[in-house]
Structure 1
Amino acid sequence: MGRGFLFILLLIALPAAAQIYKYTDANGNTAYSNQPPDGVRAQPVELPPLNSVGPQAAPAPATEPSTREQANDAYQVLELTGLPTTEALRANNGTFTVNVLIKPRLQGPHLFRLVLDDQPYGQPGNVPTLQLVNIDRGLHSLAVQVIDGDTVVQQSPSVTFTVQRVHKP
């Protein structure tokens, strides 16, 4: 059984290894054949190797661009809205919300994180409306970051604002 199978494989493989010949026929046309014709001078044709598809290697991981390059490519628009810049923000209990304007939409694993007075504030989230609670009165700066895990993908420009609270004696 083993020899018969080997013989069948050999018969199947022989046509794949056959030689191709090029010649000019009686009408002056160039012709090709797997057998040289009788009485005509035929030249063997060297064929390039056949294309084959093998297992694909995984693509090499892209080199990690610098944070500034990522920031330029990630989002066209990233900014905070809803904060007054010319007058004080009245928040008697120090609680208020801000909105994030982002284009295009927040991508896959990315999250928003507020940065209040150059320090991360609150828990990261994927909702573009963020709340600040019990913020002291006075001058503050606020920005929003888009993060991927511990990596800052992009940060908005900082907005400076003043919180005005009722002072209770």
Structure 2
Amino acid sequence: MRPHCLYLLLLTALPAAAQIYRYTDANGNPAYSDRPPAGVQGQAVELAPLNRIAPPRPTLAPASEPELLPPASAPTYSTLELNGILNGGVVRANNGTVNVEVRLQPPLHSTHRLRLLLDDQPYGPPGTTPSLQLLNLDRGEHRLAVQVLAGEQVVQQSPTLTFTLQRVHRP
């Protein structure tokens, strides 16, 4: 894919390297073209050289110490909760899409992933983003929680909140 993009970029750059001609049209107005005009005296326009900037050199990240996992007996996160839905609240979403945010303190460890539990069942693949979305959710009452996973092992789980989804019912 990258070689094709490079070829396309080179092809689009070719006209920029072409010669430009200035001439006066039949109405006496100055005109410009990439070809010398037929039957009209044209003058080649000298263009200033293009600006060129060298690409930045990649910098190597300083070597860092490996992150240590906290002891298994201690809670990993002092804060792990869902935001965007009130416990016992009502959410109106006619398309069934509900957005939730995960509040974590300290930030998510690099080896951990977040996974939603909807009605006590895993919902979607584990990920690292604290913004999660439920799609095409049925109307009615639901339970929602988030788990922190290390591989397949549950490290910690948020308190479960209950909410009711309202959406238009069309028979």
TM-score by length of 1: 0.57
RMSD, aligned CA:
1.7
Map of 1:89 onto structure 2: 91
Check 1:165–1:100 CA distance in 2 against 1; reply closer, same or farther (3 A cut): same
1:154 paired to 2:156: yes
1:120 paired to 2:122: yes
SS at match of 2:107: coil
What amino acid does structure 2 have at the position aligned with 1:113? R
Is the 8 Å Cα contact of residues 80 and 158 (structure 2) preserved in structure 1?
A: yes
Is the 8 Å Cα contact of residues 88 and 161 (structure 2) preserved in structure 1?
A: no
SS at match of 1:89: strand
Q: Deviations over 1:1-54 (max 9, x none)?
A: xxxxxxxxxxxxxxxxxxxxxxxxxxxxxxxxxxxxxxxxxxxxxxxxxxxxxx
Map of 1:139 onto structure 2: 141
SS at match of 2:75: helix
Is the 8 Å Cα contact of residues 115 and 122 (structure 2) preserved in structure 1?
A: yes
What amino acid does structure 2 have at the position aligned with 1:90? R
Q: Deviations over 1:86-124 (max 9, x none)?
A: 541001011111000000000011010000000000011
> How many residues are treated as equivalent by the alignment?
102
Q: Which has the larger radius of gyration?
A: 1
Identity of aligned residues (%): 55
Unaligned runs of 5+ in 1: 1-61
Map of 1:102 onto structure 2: 104
Q: Distance between the aligned counterparts of 1:118 and 1:136, measured in 2?
A: 15
Q: Give the C-alpha shift of residue 84 in structure 1.
A: 2.9
1:53-64 correspondence to structure 2 within 5 Å: none
Q: Point out the structure with the larger helix share.
A: 1
TM-score by length of 2: 0.57
